[in-house]
Amino acid sequence: MPYDDLRSFLDTLEKEGQLLRIPDEVLPEPDIAAAANAAGRIGEGAPALWFDRVKGFTDARIAMNVHGSWRNHALALGMPKETSPREQVEEFARRWDAFPVPPERRADAPWQENTVTGGDVDLFAVLPLFRLNDGDGGFYLDKAAVVSRDPADPDHFGKQNLGTYRMEVIGRDRLALQPVPVHDIAQHLRTAEERGEDLPVAITLGNDPVIPIVAGMPLRYDQSEYEMAGALRGAPMPIATAPHTGLDVPWGAEVVIEGVVESRVRQIEGPFGEFTGHYSGGRRMPVIRIERISYRSRPVFESLYLGMPWTECDYLVGPNTSVPLLKQLRAEFPEVRAVNAMYTHGLLVIISTAKRYGGFAKAVGMRAMTTPHGLGYVSQVILVDEDVDPFDLPQVMWAQSAKVNPREDVLVLPNLSVVELAPASQPAGVTSKMIIDATTPVAPDVRGNFGTPVKDLPETAAWAARLRTLLATR
Amino acid sequence: MTAPTASPAVCPRCSDEAVRTVAHSPVPDVWEVLQCARCLYMWRTTEPARRTSPGAYPERFRMTAEDIATALEVPAVPPLAAR
């Protein structure tokens, strides 16, 4: 059964031993962020963290690291917690084929229990806000889904966007928003600002565990994240109508914040420790004016620590970046076997592919750079043969060390687009990109001495199974 | 228990003196959340000195009036469309 809200997923995590309640009173800073940072440093299988004794607060309930291990990511998608990363990506890709699954509109959303509007809006009265990293300019909402519509086509359900964008609390009823130009909300905002109009938005916090996965997923502009959530859940995504803006929001959210991005306004924002492992900011960014907050009684505040990888963010955007690239590449090149885009949201991608003819793998690498996500991210591509597992980094390093003749197999392309957050870009937003072709050349590319590869013995697979059985039963 | 600091005269990040209180702890007198009106830096009075004290605030994160005035607009405000 898919999860319709965060609370039911937290119950499952607890039953599976994947939620750790912190029993002692903690300081809001630096304890909560440091604990979530540490969850990424204690090895495989880290649990979600639950805090409800936070100094100075009377009623805080804070969930961190909810997606912060392969076990938790598997459980979020209803898979057994032991499912390997590669198997999770393959199952994710299989479910993608059910897209689009229309959502199910429901009434009586739990977040309708409480409402504040106008001058009574005070984020601090609803959320136990706290800082993550030392250099952050303030307290952030970094795991919320932001919903907006295309002002030029407001009735198009697919063009309604749901995405995760960082938001800094800059007042009781004000947020600064980072709409990265390659992201869909930036297109909505541009259209609104060209017309001199505010852009209505709904911000939903504490969502069911599939929403953060689709909200960070590089879908096509006109593809609905809700219809993708339905495909990944294996059941229609429950949505409800936000009362103030009329936007479609997750039925099961803990908190729904509604307001507008004020037209043609920019204010200083940041810095913020980003998924790149570096701070970005301060820059002048758009501002959201909050006009209404609806919330469940005793809301759970879900947040995410990010900093030097790996952190929860890397688990959250690993498979959801790999699968769209795999699907988009395979649509034109069925030879593509697997895509591992789990490094810094796909700034580096490893692709396994069969070769149609000499030079083919390099073309696959170039195509990866021109996919929707590639335009803003894919800066380095390593191509490996079809029998190399791109999720097995020792195998990838073997392929690169043995197959690459640097002068012919490393291509550097100057002055291409990338997100401004990419720390190596110069100027910000522009970078060179690199293709490393670590595949075996095929005709008419006859370079190298690859005629006699050593393959695993025909009996090896059977012996591997036998060894595992012996180990398990000894 | 850490006693709440009285509102400091200056922002730890940009040294401006226009500091306002934006929130009080729900448990009385444990902490306040303060904000600089110029650089918008926000902090809780119980945070470590490296985030709250002008003397201990790291040089690399400091901000000047010029930094704020010349900060890049992201995204840039587009031209108004002709009507």
The domains found in chain A, sorted by start residue, are: 6-314 (2.30.110.10), 318-438 (3.40.1670.10)
More confident call, A372 vs A67: A67
Confidence of residue B83 (pLDDT cuts 50, 70, 90): low
Contact A179, A284 (CB under 8 A): no
What CA–CA distance (Å, rounded) separates A256 from A295? 6
Residue A181 has pLDDT above 90, yes or no: no
A161 is known to lie in a ligand binding site: yes
Kindly determine whether residue A284 and residue B58, on different chains, have CB atoms separated by under 8 Å: no
Residue B3 has pLDDT above 70, yes or no: no
* B27 contacts on A by Cβ (under 8 Å): 55-58
B71 touches chain A (CB under 8 A): yes
Confidence of residue A444 (pLDDT cuts 50, 70, 90): very high
Residue A162, CA distances (Å) to A184, A188, A250, B41, B47 in order: 9, 12, 10, 28, 33
Confidence of residue A409 (pLDDT cuts 50, 70, 90): very high
Mean pLDDT of chain A: 96
Q: Above pLDDT 70, what percent of chain A?
A: 100
Cis peptide before A390 (omega within 30 of 0): no
Kindly determine whether residue A131 and residue B47, on different chains, have CB atoms separated by under 8 Å: yes
Q: A199: distance to nearest CA of chain B, Å?
A: 13
Give the bridge partners for A47, in sequence order.
Answer: none
Please name which of A219, A184, A416, A133 lies closest in space to residue B75, comparing C-alpha atoms.
A184
Residue B26 has pLDDT above 70, yes or no: yes
Query: How confident is the model over A423-437, as a mean pLDDT?
Result: 96
b/e B20-42 (16+ beta carbons within 10 angstroms → b): eebbebeeeebbbbbbbebbbbb
Residue B4 has pLDDT above 80, yes or no: no
Smallest CA–CA distance from A197 into chain B, residue: B80
Per-residue confidence (pLDDT) for residue B32, from 0 to 100: 97
Residue B1 has pLDDT above 70, yes or no: no
A159: which 2 tokens? 């063009």
Report CA Rg, chain A. 23
b/e A3-18 (16+ beta carbons within 10 angstroms → b): bbbbbebbebbeeeeb
Residues A224/A230/A233/A235 CA torsion (nearest 10 deg): 170
Per-residue confidence (pLDDT) for residue B8, from 0 to 100: 52
Query: How confident is the model over A187-200, as a mean pLDDT?
Result: 98
Structure confidence by residue, pLDDT tens digits, A256-290 = 999 999 999 999 999 999 999 999 888 999 999 99
Structure confidence by residue, pLDDT tens digits, A194-233 = 999 999 999 999 999 999 999 999 888 999 999 999 999 9
- Residues with Cβ within 8 Å of A294's Cβ and at least 6 positions away in sequence, in order, are A111, A112, A113, A114, A115, A242, A243, A255, A256, A258
What CA–CA distance (Å, rounded) separates A167 from A129? 12
**How many other CB atoms sit within 10 Å of the CB of residue A42?**
10
B82: which 2 tokens? 């002709």
Residue A422 has pLDDT above 80, yes or no: yes
What CA–CA distance (Å, rounded) separates A250 from A241? 9
Segments of A178-254 assigned E as strands: 199-205, 238-241, 248-250
A427 touches chain B (CB under 8 A): no
Per-residue confidence (pLDDT) for residue A43, from 0 to 100: 84
Catalytic residue among A168, A258, A274, A312: A274
Kindly determine whether residue B74 and residue A57, on different chains, have CB atoms separated by under 8 Å: no
> Half-sphere exposure of residue A176, counting CA atoms within 13 Å on the CB side?
27
Kindly determine whether residue A58 and residue B26, on different chains, have CB atoms separated by under 8 Å: yes
Query: How confident is the model over A446-468, as a mean pLDDT?
Result: 95
Does ipTM top 0.95?
no
**How many other CB atoms sit within 10 Å of the CB of residue A102?**
12
- The identity of residue A391, as a single letter, is F
Backbone angles phi, psi at B75, to 5 degrees: -80, 160
Which stretches within A18-105 are classed as H helix?
31-39, 70-76, 85-96
Backbone angles phi, psi at A427, to 5 degrees: -65, 170
Residue A471 has pLDDT above 70, yes or no: yes
What CA–CA distance (Å, rounded) separates A1 from A355? 41
What CA–CA distance (Å, rounded) separates A208 from A236? 13
What CA–CA distance (Å, rounded) separates A10 from A125? 24
- Residues with Cβ within 8 Å of A175's Cβ and at least 6 positions away in sequence, in order, are A123, A141, A167, A168, A169, A203, A287, A288, A290
